[in-house]
Amino acid sequence: MSKIDEIKEDIGWLKVIFGILTAVDISLLGWLAQNYDRTALPLLIFAVVVIVMCTVGIIFINKKAYKKIRELGDL
């Protein structure tokens, strides 16, 4: 497999992970907005922690994908 194809495959997998993390993040934010007053405190804390982790993951994946895209442009 050539280097260009390998980078394209990496970018494809990063898009999948990015999409999953974004969907989970948005879903949890929506759930939290609707249920913050009716839910137990430990569950709220857990939801906020997962939201923060997803958001950090989204930022990390985004930076990694842009790095791969720049690498692809250099070839």
Work out the average pLDDT over 69-75.
84
Give the count of alpha carbons within 13 A of 25, CB side only: 15
pLDDT band at 42 (very low <50, low <70, confident <90, very high): very high
74 pLDDT above the threshold of 80 = no
Of 24, 23, 19, 17, nearest to 49 by C-alpha is 24
Q: Which domain range does residue 70 map to?
A: 3-74
Q: Mean pLDDT over all residues of the chain?
A: 93
Q: How many domains does the structure of the chain reveal?
A: 1
Please provide the distance, in angstroms rounded to a whole number, between the alpha carbons at the two ends of the chain. 15
